[in-house]
A = this chain, B = another copy of it.
Amino acid sequence: MRVGILGGGQLARMLALEGIPLGHHFTFLEPAPDPPAGSLGEVVDTAYDDPAGLARIAAATDVVTYEFENVPASSAAYLAARLPVLPPPAALEATQDRLAEKRLFRELDIPTAPFHRLDTPDQLDAAVAVAGLPAVLKTRRFGYDGKGQTVVHSPAEAAAALATLGPGLIAEGFVRFSRELSILGVGGRDGSRVFYPLTENHHRDGILRASRAPAPAATPELQARAERLAARVMDRLGYVGVLAIELFQVGDRLLANEMAPRVHNSGHWTLDGANVSQFENHIRAVTGLPLAEPCVPGPAAMVNIIGELPDPAAVAALPFAHLHLYDKAPRPGRKLGHVNITGLGEFEVAEGVRRVSELLPG
């Protein structure tokens, strides 16, 4: 099958690496030069809303998916009128706007932190009253990796943040979580569903640094609860493909923080730690193949390579490490690759993460 991917970054690269063995051919819509996926298929290098580029993608592919959620709605609509776009464009609308996303969670009875829209100074009192203090003020659109958000501790700080970041904000209650988790679900075109084990995520400066799966001490009950939350979203959206929901665990409660209608950094460990990766299952889903039930034989972890590259020989010398590079030029804060960790026992994984982290500059 000819698969189109909107975006040619590392997620597109890994989707193609996992989809090529299934016999698929890939075309990427990516305006940036030398994209990480560039060597794995054709690149249409126009803007995401360029009519000629979209027409070329529509002509060259049998199904279109994407590696990021900020696809212009008009582009998704243009393509969806011509061929299957999966996950469905409704998932883009639901995730491009943090307020719409939170409202969807609420509608589906999925617990979240309290939230309130915040566009103008006259909404400040209500927003602070609902979210409480401290609150997290976030831009509703185009935020990622902690960008476009700030924590405020007083109404004055909230007003200042609104002046800087706003309008178009959402104020959310600051959650003193026990830990951050994510659940990855996959919906098939035949309506089937599979889920990966809950993953525990560690962020620093708003960027995911490390993940561990299955999340330690996650009970079957917690797993089942997370799956039910994800299934509600998938049901509502007629979802096909990988859906990632980031969750805060607070005691034994789960609060949905945000979701992504795509393969997700917190699922990169599946490349080496599961019988089937999130990338392969996403490709299976959008191309209409049966999904594979994930089987995770032991603990796995993932450490992101950010900003600077390590010595690959030093990483390769660790018997439990699997190096994945994205072919991106180093730049502060940029995700350049990741290292998966497998084959260690439950009590050795943290040490494995530590040893990999020591090899990472910066």
Most chain B CB inside 10 Å of its own CB: which residue of A23, A26, A342: A23
Interface string of A307-323 (1 = CB under 8 A from B): 00000110011010011
Pick from B39, B276, B316, B343: contact of A20, CB under 8 Å: B39
Binds B, one of A59-67, A135-143, A289-297: A289-297
Once bound together, how far apart are the Cα atoms of A77 and B288, in whole Å?
A: 48
Cβ of A14 to closest chain B Cβ, rounded Å: 8
Nearest opposing residue in chain B for A324, CB measure: B21
Q: Verify if A73 is at the interface (C-beta below 8 Å from B).
A: no
Residue A238 CB within 8 A of the other chain = no
Q: Within 8 Å of chain B (Cβ to Cβ): is A22?
A: yes
B312 touches A22 (CB 8 A): yes
**Restricting to A280-310, which residues have a CB under 8 Å from any CB of B?**
284, 288-290, 292-293, 295, 297
Q: How many angstroms between the C-alpha atoms of A289 and B322 in the bound complex?
A: 12
Give the distance in Å from the alpha carbon of A358 to the alpha carbon of B85 in the complex: 34
Q: Is the CB of B21 within 8 A of A20?
A: no
Which residue of chain B is the closest to A323 with respect to CB atoms? B22
Within the assembled complex, what's the spacing in Å between the Cα atoms of A322 and B20?
A: 13
In the assembly, what is the distance between CA of A281 and CA of B297, in Å? 22
Interface of A is mostly: mixed
A218: interface (CB < 8 Å):
no
| Given known A-B contacts A39-B41, A297-B297, A342-B275, A22 and B325 have beta carbons under 8 A apart | yes
Report how many copies the assembly holds.
2
Is A327 in contact with chain B by the CB < 8 A criterion? yes
A334 contacts the other chain (CB 8 A): no
A20, A272, A324 — most chain B CB neighbours (10 Å): A20
Task: Compute how far the CA of A317 lies from the CA of B290 in the bound complex, rounded to whole angstroms.
Answer: 5
- The verdict on A288 contacting B313 (CB below 8 Å), with A17-B21, A21-B323, A39-B20 known, is yes
Contacts of A20 in B (CB 8 A): 13, 17, 39-40, 327
Give A206-241 interface residues, CB cut-off 8 Å to B.
none
Given A21-B17, A297-B297, also A284-B324 (CB < 8 A): no
Complex Cα–Cα for A309 and B298 (A): 34
Determine the chain B residues whose CB is within 8 A of the CB of A316 once the complex forms. 22, 284, 289-290, 292
Q: Mark A1-29, 1 if CB is under 8 A from B, else 0.
A: 00000000000010001001111011000
Residue pair A327, B23 in contact (C-beta under 8 Å):
yes
Minimum CB distance partner of A25 in chain B? B39
**A292-B313 contact in complex given A275-B342, A297-B297, C-beta closer than 8 Å:** no
A343 to B293, CA, bound (A): 12
Interface pair A319/B343, CB less than 8 Å apart = no
Within 8 Å CB of A21, what residues of B? 17, 323-325
Q: Which residues of B contact A337 (CB under 8 A)?
A: 23
Q: List 6 A-B contacts (CB under 8 A).
A: A17-B21, A21-B323, A21-B325, A284-B316, A288-B313, A290-B316
Which residues of A are interface residues toward B (Cβ below 8 A)? 13, 17, 20-23, 25-26, 39-41, 272, 275-276, 284, 288-290, 292-293, 295, 297, 312-313, 316-317, 319, 322-325, 327, 337, 342-343
List 18 other contacts, CB 8 Å, given A17-B17, A23-B327. Answer: A13-B20, A20-B39, A20-B327, A21-B325, A22-B325, A23-B312, A23-B323, A23-B325, A23-B337, A26-B39, A39-B40, A272-B275, A275-B342, A289-B316, A292-B319, A293-B319, A295-B343, A297-B297
